[in-house]
């Protein structure tokens, strides 16, 4: 029995070997054979690298475009700001020029009114109740009208320099020179003066008022102010 089993196993093994060999032979000779060993699949990484590089280049281009856009916007904003500043500066300059012109015109108008007022006052023939104090601009207007100026200083000061055409009547010696007033018409305009630091011109003006002179002015600035102004002098 054991011998039979051994022979049967050998027969079965032989059949299996023959079947296996026949299958291998058939598979080799058949073009549609089954691949027992799979071909190694090679992954082509070159196409992936190219795609990655393309994406990187695209990203760089996008960043460059954004940078150019930002630069363009900054330049446009800068030009716009510069243009607006130029307009503002031009407007300010125009306003400043216009303001200065208006101020100059106003000052000119005021000065003209002042001069006209002085001239009108100099032309007045209204009798003065008492002597009136005047400043140099009014004194100059009266001088231009050819009114008589009376120098109340002593002879030495008068000879050293005086207002052009002025008549010297030293008031400190009025008793000696009072007869000179007899030659002066009492209805005319007179301006008394001395130096800036003296008051004899005031005394002379009131003395003349007592004598009946009705239009006497007192120029307090006197010879010193007249000379400093560069007005006509002898």
Q: What is the pLDDT of residue 43?
A: 46
Measured in degrees and rounded to the nearest 5, phi and psi for residue 215 equal -130, 75
Question: Mean of the pLDDT values across residues 99-111?
Answer: 75
SS3 for 186? coil
Whether 113 shows a pLDDT value over 70: the answer reads: no
Q: What is the pLDDT of residue 42?
A: 47
Q: Where are the domains of the chain?
A: 83-121, 132-229
Integer Cα distance of 57 and 49 in angstroms: 12
Cα torsion 104, 109, 110, 111 to 10°: value is 90
Q: CB–CB of 201/158 below 8 Å?
A: no
The two beta strands, 167-168 and 190-193, are unpaired
Q: Which superfamily, per CATH, for 132-229?
A: Rhodanese-like domain (3.40.250.10)
122-148 tens-digit pLDDT: 555 445 568 999 999 999 999 999 999
Integer Cα distance of 222 and 230 in angstroms: 13
8-66 tens-digit pLDDT: 777 777 777 777 777 666 666 666 555 544 444 444 545 566 667 777 777 777 787 77
Q: CB–CB of 190/147 below 8 Å?
A: yes
State pTM to two decimals.
0.50
Which sign does the torsion angle of CA 154, 185, 133, 119 carry? Answer: negative
Residues 6 or more apart whose CB falls under 8 angstroms from that of 138 comprise 118, 121, 122, 217
Whether 1 shows a pLDDT value over 60: the answer reads: no
Enumerate long-range contacts of 62-71, CB under 8 Å, 24 or more apart: none
Q: What is the pLDDT of residue 172?
A: 93
Q: CB–CB of 122/145 below 8 Å?
A: yes
Q: What is the pLDDT of residue 97?
A: 77
Kindly calculate the radius of gyration of the chain based on its CA atoms and give it in whole angstroms: 63
**Token duo for residue 194:** 């001395």
Residues 6 or more apart whose CB falls under 8 angstroms from that of 161 comprise 223, 227, 233, 234
Cα torsion 116, 121, 123, 129 to 10°: value is 180
Give the Cβ contact number of residue 158 at 10 Å: 20
Q: What is the pLDDT of residue 103?
A: 79
SS3 for 125? coil
Give the Cβ contact number of residue 44 at 10 Å: 7
Q: What is the pLDDT of residue 165?
A: 97
pLDDT band at 174 (very low <50, low <70, confident <90, very high): very high
């Amino acid at each position: 029995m054991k011998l039979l089993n051994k022979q049967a196993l050998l027969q079965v093994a032989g059949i299996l070997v023959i079947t296996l060999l026949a299958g291998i032979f058939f598979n080799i000779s058949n073009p549609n054979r089954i691949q027992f060993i799979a071909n190694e699949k090679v992954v082509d990484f070159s196409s992936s690298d190219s795609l990655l590089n393309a994406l990187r280049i695209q990203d760089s281009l996008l960043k460059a475009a954004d940078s150019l856009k930002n630069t363009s916007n900054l330049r446009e904003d800068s030009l716009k700001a510069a243009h607006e500043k130029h307009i503002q500066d031009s407007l300010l300059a125009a306003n400043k020029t216009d303001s200065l012109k208006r101020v100059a015109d106003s000052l000119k108008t005021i000065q003209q009114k002042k001069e006209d007022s002085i001239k009108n006052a100099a032309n007045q023939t209204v009798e003065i109740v008492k002597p009136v104090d005047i400043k140099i601009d009014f004194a100059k207007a009266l001088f231009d009208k050819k009114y008589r100026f009376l120098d109340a200083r002593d002879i030495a000061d008068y000879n050293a320099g005086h207002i052009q055409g002025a008549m010297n009547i030293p008031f400190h010696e009025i008793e000696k020179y009072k007869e000179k007033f007899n030659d002066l018409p009492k209805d005319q305009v007179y301006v008394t003066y001395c130096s800036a630091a003296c008051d004899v011109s005031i005394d002379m003006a009131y003395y003349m008022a007592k004598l009946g002179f009705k239009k006497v002015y007192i120029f307090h600035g006197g010879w010193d102010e007249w000379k400093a102004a560069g007005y006509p002098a002898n």
